[in-house]
Amino acid sequence: MASEPLIFELASPGRPGVRPPLPQFDAVDPAAVLPEGQIRGALDLPEVSEIDVMRHFVRLSQRNHSIDTAIYPLGSCTMKYNPKINEVTARLPGLLEPHPYQPESSVQGLLALIHDLEAVLAELAGFATVTTQPAAGSQGEMVGLFCIQAWLRSRGERRTTVLVPDSAHGTNPATATMTGMRVEPLGTGPDGNIDLAELDAKLDDDVAALMLTLPTTLGLFEQRILDVTRRVHAAGGQVYGDGANMNAMLGRVRPGDLGIDVMHLNLHKTFTTPHGGGGPGAGALGVQAHLAPFLPGPRFVKTDAGYALEPAGPDSIGRVHSHVGNVGNLIRAYTYIRSLGRDGMREVADDAVLHANYLRARLAPHFDIPYDRICMHEVVLAGTRQRRLGVRTTDIAKRLIDYGVHPPTVYFPLIVDEALMIEPTETESIESLDQFAEALINVADEAKAAPDLLHAAPTTAPVRRLDEVTANRSPDVNWTPAD
């Protein structure tokens, strides 16, 4: 496929873009009202016609894979169908146009919607209260660890260690560092559970929290979860839940009932707000009652006089967003939850888990599965058998591209060699699951019979394999015209 020119290469001096609104007022000369030196000279931006801008970005979009194109089984990301009604409700003028500082009496519908969303999320996940302010899961993690620190301080304690299993998302240790804490890794036993003996050995009076992903990134439910949370609490620590994998639990179990003190929910994963090519997400945070006083403000409250934004209390860890969060995504999540209702929630978890186990069963003869038991919403394979044939997981992934399906998450979790982490989600049909399984099985066969096909892949994508080494060594991240 020919490459698409850069927007800069479509420009021509003097070419008009979209017309701005007609002036409503007599013009004021900026030079007459602004201080000297404060008005810029030339604005070095491309001059492109409207139709060329439209075509350029349409053509670029066509060089993308998306959920609406075909299966996108990226493990840990929950790439499920994004209902189109969500996009309609999020664009209703009454929800899209309000200004953050208009009077609360003039945004009662919006305040009610977010208040009710927080209440439903708290009920679903088993927490005393939920804040929807964090813009994504990672920001939720940061708020959660700050809340734990503040709670410890309120009890006259200072603890600085965070236990993080070796299977955890990279955000967990990165968040611990941002919150000034020290990371102590925790091993995973051969059954895929936390090693309780190691946990006991590491639980001391400096442990502020255990960060636990449930189900784990191995796609497994921690079988001794109640033992784990009980031990952490007995040692005076708190349990932080990484809720990236909530899709497996909807309606089946509430993490808050299992001893988890605080957990974020990725609304862009479990609650179908679109991933947007990388964001925006939304990272609601649920906490048990003892942590509630520390949450960021403002909080959405219902009073006798209606819905209101209540300023943060004296113990709050502080604000993390310029206003109240990614409201557009909260509207989408609310729309989804109202569409599903109580029974739909459980059907999500049931089919997500069923679909993952179906792929596990179909792929088991062809790939190593290091932790081979009933999985939850995702299954983690290892390309170790294929590596012995001189084929790496990268090669398997790149060959899948030639089959028109998006590869799974690869080389994660770090504790699985040559990992392939597959999360099909509940919204794929059995035909789609079969197509994906057959593509992967074909690739496994090709690894034996014709490994060069894998090494050369992809050949049907807009580009072939890219030179990442040069890109890192001499980064070209800002276009300059060629000489």
Q: Candidates 252, 290, 366, 385: give the one binding another protein (CB under 8 A).
A: 252
CB–CB of 40/86 below 8 Å?
Answer: no
User: In what helix (H) or strand (E) does residue 421 lie, and over which residues does it extend?
Assistant: strand 419-422
The residue among 398 and 447 lying less far from another protein, judged by its C-beta, is 398
The single-letter DSSP state of residue 104 is G
User: Taking CB under 8 A as the rule, does residue 338 contact another protein?
Assistant: yes
Among residues 73, 117, 127, 141, which is the contact residue for another protein, using CB under 8 A?
141
By CB under 8 A, tell whether 12 contacts another protein.
no
Residue 85 as a binder of another protein (CB under 8 A): the answer is yes
The CA-atom distances, in angstroms, between 446 and each of 38, 233, 455, 463 are 64, 51, 11, 22
Please answer whether residues 167 and 415 qualify as being in contact, where contact means their C-beta atoms are separated by less than 8 angstroms: yes
Q: How far apart are CA 25 and CA 41, in angstroms?
A: 24
Closest contact distance (angstroms) between CB of 78 and another protein is 10
Return the residue of 73, 219, 286, 458 that touches another protein, per CB under 8 A.
458
Q: Does 341 bind another protein (CB under 8 A)?
A: yes
Q: Does 65 bind another protein (CB under 8 A)?
A: yes
Interface region with another protein, contact rule CB under 8 A, candidates 23-31, 285-293, 380-388, 446-454 = 23-31
Among 233, 254, 385, 387, binds another protein (CB under 8 A): 254
Residue with tokens 């590596």: 387
Q: Pick from 253, 308, 441, 453 the residue near another protein by CB under 8 A.
A: 253
Q: Which is nearer to another protein, 222 or 446 (CB)?
A: 222
Cα–Cα dist 195/202, whole Å: 11
Which residue(s) pair with 183 in the sheet? 162
- Min dist CB 187 to another protein, Å, is 16
Contact 112, 307 (CB under 8 A): yes
Kindly state whether residue 367 participates in binding another protein, applying the rule CB under 8 A: no
Residue 351 in the binding site for another protein (CB under 8 A): yes
DSSP secondary structure letter of residue 188:
B
Length of the chain: 483
A 10 A CB-CB count for 157 gives 13
If one asks whether residue 187 binds another protein (CB under 8 A), the answer comes out as: no
Counting contacts by CB under 8 A, is residue 383 touching another protein? no
Q: Applying CB under 8 A, does 154 fall inside the site for another protein?
A: no
305 binds another protein (CB under 8 A): no
**Contact positions with another protein (CB under 8 A) in 88-117:** 88-89, 91-103, 105-110, 112-113
Of 41 and 388, the one with the shorter C-beta distance to another protein is 41
- Restricting to residues 156-175, name those near another protein by CB under 8 A: 169-171, 173-175
Residue 344's contacts (CB-CB under 8 Å, 6 or more residues apart) are: none
- In what helix (H) or strand (E) does residue 184 lie, and over which residues does it extend? strand 182-186
* DSSP 8-state class, residue 294: G
Query: Can you tell me which residue has the tokens 């959920």?
Result: 67
Residue 417: left (phi > 0), alpha (psi -120 to 50), or beta? beta
Which residue in the set 159, 299, 392, 398 belongs to the binding site for another protein (CB under 8 A)? 398
Q: Indicate the residue among 198 and 347 with the shorter CB distance to another protein.
A: 347
* Residue of the chain from 165, 219, 274, 383 that contacts another protein (CB under 8 A): 274
Pick from 376, 423, 412: nearest CA to 221: 376
Question: Is the CB of 68 or the CB of 200 nearer to another protein?
Answer: 68
Cis preceding linkage at 23, omega within 30: no
Q: Of 192 and 237, which CB lies nearer to another protein in the complex structure? A: 192
Q: Is 314 in the site for another protein (CB under 8 A)?
A: no
Binding region for another protein (CB under 8 A) out of 51-59, 200-208, 234-242, 382-390:
51-59
CA 97, 103, 106, 111 dihedral sign is: positive
Asked if 461 interacts with another protein (CB under 8 A), we say: yes
Residue 422 makes contact with another protein by CB under 8 A = no
Q: Cβ 205 to another protein, closest distance in Å? A: 19
| Residue 94 identity (one-letter amino acid) | G
